[in-house]
Chain A
Amino acid sequence: MIRSTHLPLLVTLATFVLAFALCASAYPAMLSTRVVANLLTDNAFLGIAAVGMTFVILSGGIDLSIGSVIAFTGVFLAVVLRDTQMHPLMAFALALVIATVFGAIMGALIHYLEMPPFIVTLAGMFLARGAAYVLSTESVPITHEFYDTLQGLYWRDPSGGRFRLIGGVMVLTFLVGIVVAHRTRFGQNVYALGGGEQTARLMGVPLASTTICTYAISGGLAGLSGIVFSLYTSAGYSLATVGVELDAIAAVVIGGTLLTGGYGFVAGTFFGILIMGLIQTYIVFDGTLSSWWTKIVIGGLLFAFILLQKGLTWATQARRRTATGSAAPS
Chain B
Amino acid sequence: MTDPVRPVLHARGISKFFPGTIALDDVELRLNPGEVHALLGENGAGKSTLIKCLTGAYQRDAGTLLLDGAPINPASTAASQKLGIGTVYQEVNLLPNLTVAENLFLGRQPLRGGFVSRRRMNAMARETLAGYGLKIDPTEPLTAYSVAVQQVVAIARAVDMSGKVLILDEPTASLDRDEVALLFSVIRQLKARGLAIVFITHFLDQVFEICDRATILRNGRVVGDCALAEVSRREVITMMLGRQLEARVHSKKTGTVGKPLVQVADLGRRGMIEPFSLDIHEGEVVGLAGLLGSGRTETANLIFGAVMPDQGRIRLRGTDITIRTPRDAVAHGFALCPEDRKSEGIVGDLSVRDNIILALQARQGWMRPIPRAKVTEIADRYVRALDIRLASLDTPIRLLSGGNQQKALLARWLATNPAFLILDEPTRGIDVGAHAEIIALIDQLRADGMALLVASSELEELVAYSTRVVVLRDRVQICELTGDQITPDTIVQAIADDPHPHAEPV
State the A residues within 8 Å of B (CB). 3-5, 179, 182-185, 187-189, 191-192, 194-196, 199-200, 202-205, 262-263, 316, 319-320, 323-330
Task: Report the Cα distance A5→B93, complex, angstroms.
Answer: 20
> A116: shortest Cβ distance to chain B, in Å?
20
- 11 further A-B contacts with Cβ under 8 Å, apart from A185-B111, A204-B81, A262-B95, are A182-B116, A188-B107, A189-B107, A199-B94, A203-B95, A203-B157, A204-B77, A205-B106, A205-B107, A327-B146, A329-B149
Q: Which residues of A contact B103 (CB under 8 A)?
A: 203
B95 close to A325 (CB less than 8 A): no
A184 close to B116 (CB less than 8 A): yes
Task: Report the Cα distance A194→B102, complex, angstroms.
Answer: 14
A179 close to B115 (CB less than 8 A): yes
Is B505 at the interface (CB under 8 A from chain A)? Answer: no
Is B109 at the interface (CB under 8 A from chain A)? Answer: yes
Partner of A329 from the list B77, B93, B106, B133 (CB cut-off 8 Å) is B133
- Residue interface bits B176-215, CB-to-A below 8 A is 1, else 0: 1011001000000000000000000000000000000000
Partner of A188 from the list B109, B135, B148, B149 (CB cut-off 8 Å) is B109
> A236: shortest Cβ distance to chain B, in Å?
37
Partner of A191 from the list B78, B98, B144, B157 (CB cut-off 8 Å) is B98
Is B71 at the interface (CB under 8 A from chain A)? Answer: no
Interface size on B, residues (CB 8 A): 38
Of B89, B97, B114, B146, most buried by chain A (CB within 10 Å of CB) is: B97
B143 close to A316 (CB less than 8 A): yes
Q: Which residues of A contact B147 (CB under 8 A)?
A: 324
Task: Report the Cα distance A191→B109, complex, angstroms.
Answer: 14
Q: Which residues of B contact A320 (CB under 8 A)?
A: 143-144
State the B residues within 8 Å of A (CB). 77-78, 81, 89, 93-98, 102-103, 106-107, 109, 111, 114-116, 118, 133-136, 140-141, 143-149, 157, 176, 178-179, 182
A196 touching B143 in the complex, CB below 8 Å, given contacts A204-B81, A204-B107, A329-B182:
no
The total of Cβ contacts below 8 Å across the A-B interface reads 96
B97 close to A262 (CB less than 8 A): yes
Residue ID in chain A nearest B157 by CB atoms: A203
Residue ID in chain B nearest A328 by CB atoms: B178
Task: Report the Cα distance A330→B109, complex, angstroms.
Answer: 27
B136 close to A327 (CB less than 8 A): yes
A327 close to B149 (CB less than 8 A): yes
> A313: shortest Cβ distance to chain B, in Å?
11
14 contacts between A and B (CB under 8 A): A191-B98, A192-B95, A195-B97, A199-B95, A202-B77, A202-B89, A204-B78, A262-B97, A323-B144, A323-B146, A327-B136, A327-B145, A329-B133, A329-B182
Task: Report the Cα distance A263→B102, complex, angstroms.
Answer: 14
Task: Report the Cα distance A195→B95, complex, angstroms.
Answer: 6
Q: Which residues of B contact A182 (CB under 8 A)?
A: 116, 118
Of B81, B95, B103, B116, most buried by chain A (CB within 10 Å of CB) is: B95
B141 close to A3 (CB less than 8 A): yes
B115 close to A188 (CB less than 8 A): no
Of A179, A195, A316, most buried by chain B (CB within 10 Å of CB) is: A195
Q: Which residues of A contact B94 (CB under 8 A)?
A: 199, 203
Partner of A185 from the list B95, B116, B134 (CB cut-off 8 Å) is B116
Residue ID in chain B nearest A324 by CB atoms: B146
Partner of A194 from the list B97, B116, B133, B134 (CB cut-off 8 Å) is B97
Task: Report the Cα distance A278→B116, complex, angstroms.
Answer: 35
B106 close to A327 (CB less than 8 A): no
Q: Which residues of A contact B134 (CB under 8 A)?
A: 329
Q: Which residues of A contact B178 (CB under 8 A)?
A: 325, 328
A5 close to B141 (CB less than 8 A): yes
Q: Which residues of A contact B146 (CB under 8 A)?
A: 323-328
Task: Report the Cα distance A202→B143, complex, angstroms.
Answer: 19
Residue ID in chain B nearest A196 by CB atoms: B95
B95 close to A200 (CB less than 8 A): yes
Task: Report the Cα distance A324→B133, complex, angstroms.
Answer: 18
B96 close to A185 (CB less than 8 A): no
A329 touching B135 in the complex, CB below 8 Å, given contacts A192-B106, A323-B145:
yes
Q: Which residues of A contact B77 (CB under 8 A)?
A: 202, 204
Task: Report the Cα distance A200→B93, complex, angstroms.
Answer: 8
Partner of B93 from the list A185, A187, A203, A326 (CB cut-off 8 Å) is A203
